[in-house]
Structure 1
């Protein structure tokens, strides 16, 4: 019987805590950081997009690094780099950017290899362990978002960075004992050539789905508050809606992975039909620029349900629709590389469309079309028991 590390599950949960929080909460106090560094707010604009760019650039390297170092040892190395990258951000503006780049690269590797490391260690608990780390990720962002302003007010923006770095260090310390249970990904025989993968319609459909669900999420996070404000809602009302949009991820991150793993093919089809319908209706509602708060509440709930359910579904799918940890890592790396390239373009193109047409309607129609394509790719993926 395979022996499991007693620190594996706590380690997975701690990794979940640092998957987004070290960079995702900084926009809340961006003006404080700008004041502290004596720079303009616009000069910090790249801080929100750099991690996405690094996700796209670095995801494809994950399988090869896991083949060389082993999964658990690589996670330890990445968590060390993550902690250093987070900490050096307190030094000055150049190091703030360098640290953010390091964070993005490190988190990209963790993103890709989490499904593989779960499959390699406890393949019978894929749904449950995916629930654990995605719930930890969602909960940490929610709690941290509420605490960042009090922390910065009581200390400084450097105090916030130190607190975030301490969480990264704690994740490293909890994970460290897992290193002696190292799993290597096979170098030959179980992987597919990249060229062959890119000719596989099922793989291409997964890349499209991965990219468009990320694009929908990041576009919604970036532009929903602006759309609500321009429709006539107050800043307070917009803030409440943003909190609801964020909080709704918690119940779905706790339930979707296990549901996806347990449900029959027909059950999964019913579940994704409801999720897809929620997203399509939510995007369609953006075409009506009303100032009614309850209208925007329903809109945020529908879009929140869609984006909150699709990400955990995707992470479980990497494991369920492959046969080995090697295939899981390869598929996850390829899909997330292509996916984050699409996701990084979404918010920028949405804003550029408004500048071009002086209306949100063309951008919303474009987003609706992309949501339809995402839905079609989602249903296509579910036609098959395995992608690889």
Structure 2
């Protein structure tokens, strides 16, 4: 491999990591600040849930379009466009009114969706023999910044005196650095770039039961993740935990899941069937959410959050790894990624709104947690099917 292409692969690795840093903070930073946002804006819980669901609806809309964008302009410019939308969306939310908040959050979702869909295909194309390792690296980086964003949101807003607007806006900084790297990759790309990467493979994934199982597993684990990110602080505050501590516990939940985030796709890539991984992670989620419902001490609460963190951390990276493992080649992986993330995130988008609405009706977190437990069981069922040693 020439020095030119060695350097380019290094830049791709750095670029993938920087994109990963930006895939979650603009969303996970919102959960701990739900209270201040709701109070200042005069919103009810349904509207607050919409703030977290809007990016997921954007994911659902943009996911099938992202491959078409890449087919027209290439990987580099597509990712660059995604980061530009993300940057503009984050900055727009500085304006302390509900309309700019919703518009900015929608742009955040559109930008993240482009990157979400394209990264699995880029990894399968650029690193075909290291899908599990590269997936583990980028999902771990994604989770690290997601956890940091959750933990520092309240201190930035209150202790540092930034208010919730600038506590959210500060995540435009890593986006800016990502823009620089992908601008360099775009400007230095070979003239004869492969343009048919996302061309149709001739297969109809909508008729594949396995593809739907992968899609539903992706959607249900995302449902659990975004519901937890949105409402866990409120749930544990209702049990007497302070707003600051609840933010740090949300951050802890994501940090404690990092080993599972890194190891799950690596282990999955080394075995033909992943059912045992699915069952282990799903069982931990079920036990953890049951514990949240029954917790009567702080130590018990932390233990349950630990189990949830490991379960969610491993599930997200495993779901992304399945997009490559269940496909025969990079083109099919891209098509499966578009399908799974479009329909999957449409399903996930209902989560924060549904849970917030159930709480508004009952004024209790018992029924919302029971719904979360039911979703966890469904995730296990569809995950077991998606983990079979077959191709879509």
Instruction: Render the CA deviation track for 1:70-121: whole Å, top value 9, x for unaligned.
Output: 1222112222332233333335634343222111101011111100011121
| Residues in 2 aligned to 1:124 and 1:316: alpha-carbon distance in whole angstroms | 13
Q: How does 1:118-157 map to 2 (within 5 A)?
A: 118-152=123-157, 153=160, 155=162
Flag the 1:52–1:121 CA change in 2: closer, same or farther, 3 A: same
Q: Which runs of 5+ in 2 are unaligned?
A: none
Distance 2:359 2:38 in 1: 27
Alignment of 1:177 onto 2:188: no
Deviation at 1:53, TM superposition (A): 1.7
- Whole-Å Cα distance in 2 between the matches of residues 163 and 226 of structure 1? 23
Q: Which residue of 2 aligns with 1:74?
A: 78
Distance 1:128 1:275, change over 3 A: same
User: Structure 2 residue aligned with 1:271, among 277, 294, 312?
Assistant: 277
Q: Which range is displaced more, 40-49 or 109-118? A: 40-49
Match of 1:90 among 94, 98, 101: 94
Whether contact under 8 Å (2:31, 2:230) holds in the other structure is no
Is the aligned partner of 1:213 residue 2:221?
Answer: yes
Distance 1:284 1:28, change over 3 A: closer
Contact 1:191 1:326 in 2 (8 A): no
CA distance in 2, matches of 1:21, 1:330: 26
Per the alignment, residue 11 of structure 1 pairs with 15
Alignment of 1:250 with 2:255, yes or no, is no
Deviation at 1:304, TM superposition (A): 1.7
Range with bigger deviation, 61-70 or 19-28: 19-28
Asked if 1:318 corresponds to 2:313, the answer is no
Alignment length (residue pairs) = 379
Displacement, 1:50? Answer: 1.6
CA distance in 1, matches of 2:79, 2:231: 34
The answer to whether structure 1 residue 199 and structure 2 residue 203 are counterparts is: no
What is the distance in 2 between the residues matched to 1:235 and 1:86? 23
SS at match of 1:284: helix
Residues of 1 paired with 2:129 and 2:117: CA distance?
19
Could you tell me how far apart the structure 2 residues matched to 1:371 and 1:147 are?
A: 28
In the TM superposition, residue 21 of structure 1 has moved relative to its aligned partner by 1.2
TM-score (norm 2): 0.85
Q: Which residue of 1 aligns with 2:42?
A: 40
Where does residue 373 of structure 2 map in the other structure?
368
C-alpha change, 1:365 and 1:42, in structure 2 (3 Å) is closer
Residues 123 and 131, structure 2, Cα contact 8 Å, conserved in 1: yes
Write the deviation string for residues 42-74 of structure 1: whole angstroms up to 9, x where unpaired: 597343322122112211111111111112221
User: Deviation of residue 167 (structure 1)?
Assistant: 1.8
SS of residue paired to 2:304: helix
8 A contact 2:89–2:103 mirrored in 1: yes
Matches of 2:38 and 2:239 in 1, distance apart? Answer: 29
Asked if 2 retains the 8 angstrom alpha-carbon contact of 1:237 and 1:293, the reply is no
- Partner of 1:383, secondary structure, is coil
With 221-230 and 333-342 compared, the bigger mean Cα shift is at 221-230
Q: Work out whether residues 275 and 388 of structure 2, in 8 Å CA contact, stay in contact via their aligned partners in 1.
A: no
Alignment match, 2:29: 25
CA RMSD of the aligned region, Å? 3.0
Residue 28 and residue 269 in structure 1: after superposition, are their counterparts in 2 closer, same or farther (change >3 A)?
Answer: closer
Which of 328, 333, 347 in structure 1 is aligned with 2:333? 328
Determine helix, strand or coil for the equivalent of 2:64.
Answer: helix
Structure 2 CA distance for partners of 1:112 and 1:366, relative to 1, 3 Å: same
**Pairing partner for 1:163 from 170, 195, 213:** 170
Structure 2 matches for 1:276-355, cutoff 5 A?
276-287=282-293, 289-355=294-360
Contact 1:59 1:109 in 2 (8 A): yes
Q: Secondary structure at the match of 2:130?
A: helix
